[in-house]
Amino acid sequence: MLKIAAHHAPHLLAPRQSAIVILLLCIAIYGSDGVAQPATTKVSPDVDVTFVSAEIIRFPAPIRLGTGPAAMAYEEALVLKLRVDRQVFDALPPSMDPYLYIGRREFRIFHIDRVDNRNDLTLTFHIANWTQLDDGAAYVLTIDHGAPGRDPGRYARVAGPRFNRSVIVDKRPKRE
């Protein structure tokens, strides 16, 4: 049988090395290790998320991404924060960025809040066209890019949090 989970498959170690690994695992469980541990054997391309916040923010200056004719800039956005399990997230294939889908709309991670002594990560998304989001659509975070568009039925009944306009907090300065 082939190894599972890129970079993370368990392996045999010498007794002394095993002891070191067990020690490190114990440290990780109690939250002070600082780095991710070997993955589970889970092979799902999807990552469960927990809703943290959704705020409309006006930035002090435009954020400009990319270069060339397709470059994008925006000065305000819905700043959506979701929490994920660090071990599950880090066990994904290392090169693949998980994309967030709300309905069929696709969003890339803007920022990963990675703190060494925490077992979770907070992901930030900037959604410039938030008014077009489908109320009630599930948050789908997956490395199977495009799957919600190719196979919408696959996520129709997915459990977990869903986008809800009522939780959005408008943090933009009030106009006089």
> What residues make contact with another protein under the rule CB under 8 A?
1-11, 13, 17, 20-21, 24, 33-38, 43, 45, 59-68, 70-72, 90, 92-97, 106, 108-112, 114, 116, 123-124, 126, 143-147, 149-151
Quick one: 68 or 173, whose CB is closer to another protein? 68
Q: Which is nearer to another protein, 50 or 122 (CB)?
A: 122
Least CB distance to another protein at residue 176 (A): 25
d(CA 163, CA 144) in angstroms, rounded, equals: 20
Structure tokens at 130: 């938030």
State in angstroms the smallest separation of the CB of 170 from another protein: 20
Nearest alpha carbon to residue 141 among 109, 170, 99, 86: 99
Joined together, the tokens standing for residue 17 give: 């090395």
Q: What is the rounded radius of gyration, in angstroms, for the C-alpha atoms of the chain?
A: 19
Least distance (Å) from another protein to the CB of residue 36? 4
- Which helix H or strand E contains 99, and what residues bound it? strand 99-102
Name residues whose C-beta falls within 8 Å of residue 83's C-beta, 6 or more positions apart in sequence. 49, 50, 51, 52, 120, 121, 122, 123
Cβ distance to another protein smaller for residue 54 or 90: 90
Write down the least CB distance from residue 166 to another protein, Å.
27
Of 117 and 164, the one with the shorter C-beta distance to another protein is 117
Instruction: Report the residue number, 71 or 159, with the smaller CB distance to another protein.
Output: 71
Q: Say if residue 8 is exposed, middle or buried (CB neighbours under 10 Å; 0-12, 13-18, 19+).
A: buried
Q: Give least dist CB 117 to another protein, A.
A: 10
